[in-house]
Amino acid sequence: MSKRSPELVDDSVVECCSPLASEVLTEKEAHDVARIFAALGDPVRLRLLSMIASSDEACSCNLEAPLGKSQPTVSHHTRILAEAGLIVGEKRGRWTWWRTVPDRLEMAARLLRP
């Protein structure tokens, strides 16, 4: 999909982490989890994710205008969300349709709340 850094966040993270409080994160766990939260740590990406989650499928063409960002910028952000495993894109005909990955959101939530 991309030449450099196709690197998705390791899937083992999904299994790995019981709530933060139960045990101290290792360095690797912290690194992987941080990438997920970092993806959530930008206002534009949060609104992007929010838009996708609200209408359970969204194509990029509907995202640029409400965000007020350029097409490359939107593409950049969808990529980061996708690499964090929070959304997935499916190309159908002309458009790419984005959906959230509930398991991933669930997993992130589980880290914060027992």
- Residues lying near DNA in the complex (CB under 7 A): 1-4, 38, 41-42, 44-45, 59-61, 68-73, 75-80, 89, 91, 93-96
Nearer to DNA, 8 or 18 (CB): 8
What's the CA gap between 41 and 52, in Å, rounded? 17
Shortest Å, Cβ 106 to its own copies = 6
How many Cβ atoms are within 10 Å of 111's Cβ, its own excluded? 20
Nearer to DNA, 42 or 53 (CB): 42
Nearer to its own copies, 50 or 73 (CB): 50
Residue 48 parent element (H or E) = helix 43-54
Task: Choose among its own copies, DNA, none what residue 70 binds, the Cβ cut-off being 5 to 8 Å by kind.
Answer: DNA
